[in-house]
Structure 1
């Protein structure tokens, strides 16, 4: 029998039990005041406030003090709604909030308090078990709490922890305007429960409020010292958010390194992208996000999980959709009539193709293609560097069969795509379009903007931006992990170096979208899944994605009770990218080699496989060396290719000197921060 059970059962005078809640039945793994900082973090995130966490924390503290003095009440006696209204008033009058009604502010305020509390709590299982035994033996148990959250929220917290049924009734100071601290709540509770104080016992950890004040009104008391919990609360005054953040991220990274899944530590990149996307979308008031095929499928899965775990879905949930599209299909739906189309969208590598590549991409019958090729009398397989400026293309535009089939294909694609979009049930004209993809420039975004005749804004949220095309007010785009727009810094250079690997780790279980069709009045996308690519996904990528998803959820739970800035996350991601790219083990190089064999490009020549080769580098060795010494981050894109290249050549054992470059890069960054702090060395 426990000490508490013997204390109560051995005393025949004890008929009714009153108990405290916080630091008695429920404890926190953070300092009590830290919960209010976390509340500020969630308020800013959910309402899109442009304010620092510490400032919002101070505003709430000042608001509580003000109302407490104004109403001549102890702080724990102040009505919760009074604090909510005072905080709201201060934010409105300081132009820190606008366009958010009090009702919504109150809902988010309350939800943030609940989410924070339940994120940092753990139960005193032994004490709760003792009380349950006493309840089963017929002892009525009442909860008395001095707390700033109202009775309704306290009951929600009890429900969450699974022991609401333990209590006959719950009494909370801020809901009654009476407190244990002042002593005024005791006569009220005794009266409400028709309890003789000589037959009641009050148990708690606060010697003043739970013991002395209760004894003043004739109650018996049991003092629960809970020394180790009080020491923990004192210790939690110290420490560092940065240290806590790094510890969580390092643990996840360590898990991934020990696992049989190469590059699964990239879940950290995807986690912070998801978090930033959520914050950005909330700030912009976005209702619908369209995740673009194919990398968007896994990103959507992560975002949906983030929203679900975030537990704010009852407030304003962002709807997510999967848009089956590719660079190829996006180019097709944006095509204009032949006499108006300049094909400028097919720039760079997109314009490198043969006449056969182009005609096959327009879904023409084999008979029509052969008829056109005979008329043109040229080398149908010759890949032309600028196909749309070639003589054979100029002759193609004058071919009657092509003119007819081009227009038919163009209009069919537009019609099928229009019906496909209708199925989403989104008012695009009212909301605009908000796209999510891995990156890198916004080709699909720009073609969708053209599809809507530049009348509907199309906004892009990307893991990263590596190219700047023709960004307009109607095609704003954001690289959330890295971006060269509006300018780049050393972290952008590092994080963008391994763009191909992001794509490969975000691969989908289906093929590339090559167009749109309507079958039995149902519009849908048409896929082509290259067999090599399919096998690579099933054997290599899928297991990594499943493992990353589990680590993503663990990362969420462990980072939730930490208040950190995105700059902190960015520094960690930058160093992670350096370590992954330079210090990676042999299994990583082997993984890249296998992945690259199945990398399918769905535009232009539709190549399968991509190879790392030093012949692709146009600069001289001397200029590369000078560039590395001066700005090693700009050369990092070459460094990440060395080990995979050496593995493919069978000389991986010679790659160990590459590891030394990591330490030089770290030194270079430190030196520039320390001695070239004016930032004039770009």
Structure 2
């Protein structure tokens, strides 16, 4: 529904239009009105809720803010501070704001009517902060002692403005106070459709409210997707990194390329006073050095756990491959593939520049005890760096699988996301996509070269993907708006941060699959996330469908795009995974 057009169309016969204020003209960046109190602390929130209940018990009509603060237990609190917090958390509801602008341009009289204990001056200040022009009048229950829900405030509005009840359309979000209350006064109303409140409790619900409210200010489909899927996740991850770094103040902070590019960009915006470094290493860039040192087990750990030919493995190590091994296939996920690998590695000839990786690491200043930030899983990059340098490092991983604890103690690495069951399964379904979304949009680091006294990075050529720029721009926008909001001092939990992404992975919208599906990711090769051919093609070429589905790195999205409809692809996929695990 286009809310703006609907309001303007319905208002056409009426000379005056009146609006509810909260959840209609303006939104709060919290899920419930009482959550504003929690921003001032739990002690205040507890006392404030009790005081309002007591004030309402003592009065039959609407209450005022001074009556609330006159209650026992509120002596040490200042009502001006509550008003200031109310002012900080409000944003305009953009579809309604645009409708107000169009109605004013048509010459209609525009008013607001609100059941609220806050004084009228405070409501006017909040509307002004949200960018509304002066209204023709405002009617707040605290000034009149009567409420909308009884119809009395609407009747007072009619008496003071001189309008007849048939002259006015009222717009509000509450069936009880707005629709029924207006009807009791004979005024026609339109119920503004609203989203159900978040099921989670504060503060996670505040993150959801903030995201929903501010998404409306972001232009561009890709930007909005990045805002909603990546913004809270990156801010929460950076908050967590900052807290861990405070426990190791002497350690250098290294963000590993390419995966941690966006994280570092957001970290700089949140903590501009802190020095960080960008370490351009990859498992692939370290393989030539490992091969030259005859570290076969480490090379095996660095290789993608995929089906690769001898030539592909040689290319990954920057080495030349003898003819006899080029077409031989190695299933590196299997025990047989791992056992066959040493013979190939013995036959490979490492490049002359193999040891430049060590020179680059010395040049970077990486030393014992420094912090490495990575997307994680098995912590392979940290594992290889520690072996190459012979030092212990401290890893901060976005996520981790069972290999992480096989390699590191809790003193050597910490993990931000601790997911279990279906959530963990969905995360690994979407991990290649997430990695691509937050990575620097350049080719992989494949090696190093000497340029004078400096060791420079060699990157694989790669075409830039416009959609990645849009997604990252949206995430950066979230971080900036969060830092400038009343919620900036609040920690975002890992659960609240990752849930929007997991929901999208499990039940993507058609538009989301269309936008993300063609993005290519690297996973031992280059694969498309979810870009099937037409169904009629697969009817005549079923083998191609099996191959394309196997190569897709977002199989839920692949099936949803291939067979659009109400089928629960995410649930079916999870069911198959559980059956396989059993």
TM-score by length of 2: 0.54
Distance 1:481 1:379, change over 3 A: closer
Give 1:573 deviation, angstroms.
3.9
Alpha carbons 1:269, 1:481 under 8 Å: kept: no
- The residue correspondences of 1:159-170 to structure 2 (distance < 5 A) are none
1:575, 1:298 → 2: CA distance?
19
SS in 2 for 1:325: coil
Aligned residue in 1 for 2:388: 451
**2:500 pairs with 1:576:** yes
Selected match of 1:553 from 472, 480, 486: 480
1:121, 1:326 → 2: CA distance?
48
Distance 1:360 1:228, change over 3 A: same
Aligned residue in 2 for 1:644: 558
- Once the two structures are superposed, what CA deviation does each residue of 1:325-352 show, in whole Å capped at 9, x if it has no partner? 11211334445633x6445643774474
Aligned residue in 1 for 2:407: 471
Give 1:300 deviation, angstroms.
0.5
Alpha carbons 2:310, 2:328 under 8 Å: kept: yes
Gaps of 5+ in 1: 1-28, 41-52, 55-74, 77-115, 124-224, 615-637, 666-681
Alpha carbons 1:262, 1:587 under 8 Å: kept: no
Aligned residue in 2 for 1:657: 567
Distance 1:641 1:261, change over 3 A: farther
Give 1:389 deviation, angstroms.
3.5
Which has the greater radius of gyration? 1
Alpha carbons 1:290, 1:323 under 8 Å: kept: yes
Selected match of 1:357 from 304, 312, 315: 312
1:262, 1:383 → 2: CA distance?
43
Selected match of 1:608 from 526, 530, 536: 526
Give 1:659 deviation, angstroms.
7.9
Give 1:266 deviation, angstroms.
1.5
1:482, 1:334 → 2: CA distance?
32
Alpha carbons 2:531, 2:558 under 8 Å: kept: no
Give 1:542 deviation, angstroms.
0.9
Alpha carbons 2:360, 2:455 under 8 Å: kept: yes
- Once the two structures are superposed, what CA deviation does each residue of 1:334-381 show, in whole Å capped at 9, x if it has no partner? 45633x6445643774474333334334445xxxx4xx72xxx52523
Report how many aligned residue pairs link the two structures. Answer: 383
Give 1:305 deviation, angstroms.
0.7
- The residue correspondences of 1:6-85 to structure 2 (distance < 5 A) are 37=41
Q: Which has the higher helix share?
A: 1
SS in 2 for 1:353: strand
TM-score by length of 1: 0.47
Alpha carbons 1:466, 1:496 under 8 Å: kept: no
Selected match of 1:482 from 413, 418, 422: 418
- Once the two structures are superposed, what CA deviation does each residue of 1:134-160 show, in whole Å capped at 9, x if it has no partner? xxxxxxxxxxxxxxxxxxxxxxxxxxx
Alpha carbons 1:293, 1:326 under 8 Å: kept: yes
Gaps of 5+ in 2: 1-32, 47-75, 89-117, 127-141, 143-200, 533-551, 576-581
Aligned residue in 2 for 1:442: 379
- The residue correspondences of 1:349-498 to structure 2 (distance < 5 A) are 349-350=304-305, 352-364=307-319, 369=320, 373=322, 378-385=324-331, 389-390=339-340, 394=343, 397=346, 405-406=349-350, 408-414=352-358, 416-422=359-365, 428-429=367-368, 432-453=369-390, 456-469=391-404, 470-473=406-409, 476-483=412-419, 488=420, 491-498=423-430
- The residue correspondences of 1:625-636 to structure 2 (distance < 5 A) are none
SS in 2 for 1:295: coil
**2:243 pairs with 1:325:** no
Distance 1:411 1:588, change over 3 A: same
SS in 2 for 1:468: helix
Aligned residue in 2 for 1:500: 432
Aligned residue in 1 for 2:467: 540
Aligned residue in 2 for 1:251: 213
Distance 1:442 1:590, change over 3 A: same
SS in 2 for 1:439: strand
2:85, 2:433 → 1: CA distance?
36
**2:538 pairs with 1:595:** no
